[in-house]
């Protein structure tokens, strides 16, 4: 069930019916403030609305503060093992801190983080991962009940911070297993009304990780579970943002940029549709306007699909028709189709 509680993370509203927030994480060396800030700006330009930055040691606090002060979006610190780093991040202006019950340690440290977050008007994410469960819950996971262990870890710390009167927090329960992730979030959503950050952790490379993330995150969002998402890919985090937006667009939850539809090709295809679609996709990528563009390769579904898109191509036998808002606007040779399409798009 969707979360009913809403929290603030910087200038963002998360949960309680607010739009699903897209986030990612930098993979630069945090101590290199210039490189980290450059990557934050690249992520923001792609539509990332919340960026997490790791804070491994106290040596990076000064650089972290510089990133926070110049970032175009709210910055959340990712802290493990030392609660004092979380407090330092909050004092440096972080909009929030992500803590992991399996690595952050004793209750006293969590209490100090909560006090600092409350004093700074910041939020917390209590994020439990299958690979770093609290010690007493590992046996439960070893018995094949990883989802239950994840939920128990999250709710245990949620109960703790609520006892201290702190409500500005969200939860996450991630696994690298898609079925475990889905099971854990569904169970957590039944037992908690707080906002949920969803994602499949350590999903893999751009190709395999995109598939796992689309299945796991997509299944949850389709159920109404999830208020903020992060796609975890091994590689450029900008790609994480692009994939997240594609998942949201596929579910018609949010749109940013064009939606390309193209047929898979078959024996009826009479043009080089693979190259045609790839070139259209490449040229659409810089656009941020939400429009649908169809690239179709035969006379069966092509004309109608193209006609019902905002703009489209229906190609066949060395030439094609260009459509704009349901009207045929040009018939041109195959090698002129892309240019004719973009003349129509650019108006």
Q: Which of 250, 270, 301 is the last residue of a domain?
A: 250
Q: Which of 206, 221, 250 is the last residue of a domain?
A: 250
Residue 47 sits in the same domain as residue 68: yes
Identify whether the C-beta of residue 71 lies closer than 8 Å to the C-beta of residue 42. Answer: no
CATH value at residue 101: 3.20.20.20
Domain assignment present for residue 170? The answer is yes
Give the pLDDT confidence of 81-125 residue by residue, as tens digits: 999 999 999 999 999 999 988 788 778 889 999 999 999 999 999
Q: Is the pLDDT of residue 307 over 80?
A: no
Residue 222 sits in the same domain as residue 291: no
Residue 229 sits in the same domain as residue 201: yes
User: How far apart are alpha carbons 15 and 227 in whole angstroms?
Assistant: 5
Q: Is the pLDDT of residue 298 over 80?
A: no
At residue 234, the pLDDT reads 96
Give the pLDDT confidence of 231-246 residue by residue, as tens digits: 999 999 999 999 999 9
Paired strand residues for 52? 25, 76
Q: pTM of this prediction?
A: 0.91
Provide the number of structural domains found in the chain.
2
**pLDDT mean across residues, the chain:** 93
Residue 112 sits in the same domain as residue 205: yes
Domain assignment present for residue 308? The answer is yes
User: How far apart are alpha carbons 177 and 192 in whole angstroms?
Assistant: 22
Residue 57 sits in the same domain as residue 123: yes
Residue 275 sits in the same domain as residue 164: no
**Total Cβ atoms within 10 A of residue 47:** 18
Residue 244 sits in the same domain as residue 115: yes
64-101 burial, b if ≥16 CB within 10 A, otherwise e? Answer: bbbbbeebebbbbbbbbebbebbbbbbebbbbbbbbbb
Q: Which of 188, 222, 250 is the last residue of a domain?
A: 250
Residue 75 sits in the same domain as residue 146: yes
Domain assignment present for residue 1? The answer is no
Q: Is the pLDDT of residue 56 over 90?
A: yes
Percent of the chain topping pLDDT 90: 77
Task: Provide the pLDDT confidence category of residue 339 given band limits of 50, 70 and 90.
Answer: very high
Domain assignment present for residue 305? The answer is yes
Identify whether the C-beta of residue 133 lies closer than 8 Å to the C-beta of residue 149. Answer: yes
Residue 334: which domain range?
259-346
Across the range 19-24, mean pLDDT stands at: 98
At residue 209, the pLDDT reads 96
Residue 145 sits in the same domain as residue 268: no
User: How far apart are alpha carbons 204 and 124 in whole angstroms?
Assistant: 26
Give the pLDDT confidence of 170-225 residue by residue, as tens digits: 999 999 999 999 999 999 999 999 999 999 999 999 999 999 999 999 999 999 99
Residue 307 sits in the same domain as residue 192: no
Residue 60 sits in the same domain as residue 136: yes
Residue 102 sits in the same domain as residue 190: yes
CA angle, 270 then 274 then 275, to 5°: 100
């Amino acid at each position: 069930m969707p979360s009913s509680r809403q929290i603030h993370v910087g200038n963002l509203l998360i949960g309680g019916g607010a739009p699903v927030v897209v986030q990612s994480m930098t993979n630069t060396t945090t101590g290199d403030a210039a490189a980290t800030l450059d990557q934050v700006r690249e992520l923001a330009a792609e539509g990332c609305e919340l960026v997490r930055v790791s804070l491994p040691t106290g040596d990076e606090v000064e650089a972290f503060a510089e990133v926070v002060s110049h970032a175009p979006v709210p910055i959340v610190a990712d802290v493990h093992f030392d609660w004092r780093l979380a407090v330092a991040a909050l004092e440096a202006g972080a909009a929030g801190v992500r803590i992991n019950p399996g690595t952050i340690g004793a209750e006293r440290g969590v209490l100090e983080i909560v006090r600092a977050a409350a004093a700074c008007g910041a939020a917390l994410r209590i994020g439990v991962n299958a690979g770093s469960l609290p010690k007493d819950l590992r046996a439960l996971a070893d018995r094949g009940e990883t989802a239950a262990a994840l939920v128990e870890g999250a709710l245990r710390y949620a109960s703790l911070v609520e006892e201290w009167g702190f409500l500005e927090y969200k939860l996450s329960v991630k696994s690298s297993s898609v079925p475990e992730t889905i099971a854990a979030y569904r169970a957590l959503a039944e037992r908690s009304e707080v906002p949920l950050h969803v994602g499949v952790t350590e999903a893999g490379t751009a190709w395999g990780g995109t598939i796992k993330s689309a299945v796991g995150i997509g299944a949850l969002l389709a159920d109404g579970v999830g208020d903020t998402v992060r796609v975890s890919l091994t590689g450029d985090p900008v790609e994480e943002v692009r994939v997240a937006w594609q998942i949201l667009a596929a579910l018609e939850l949010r749109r940013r940029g064009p939606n390309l539809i193209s047929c898979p090709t078959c024996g009826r295809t009479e043009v080089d549709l693979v190259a045609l679609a790839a070139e259209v996709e490449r040229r659409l990528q810089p656009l941020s306007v939400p429009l649908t563009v169809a690239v179709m390769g035969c006379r069966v579904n092509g004309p109608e699909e193209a006609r019902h898109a905002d703009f489209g191509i229906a190609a066949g036998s060395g030439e094609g028709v260009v459509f704009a808002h349901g009207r045929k606007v040009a018939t041109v040779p195959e090698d002129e189709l892309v240019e004719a399409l973009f003349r129509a798009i650019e108006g």
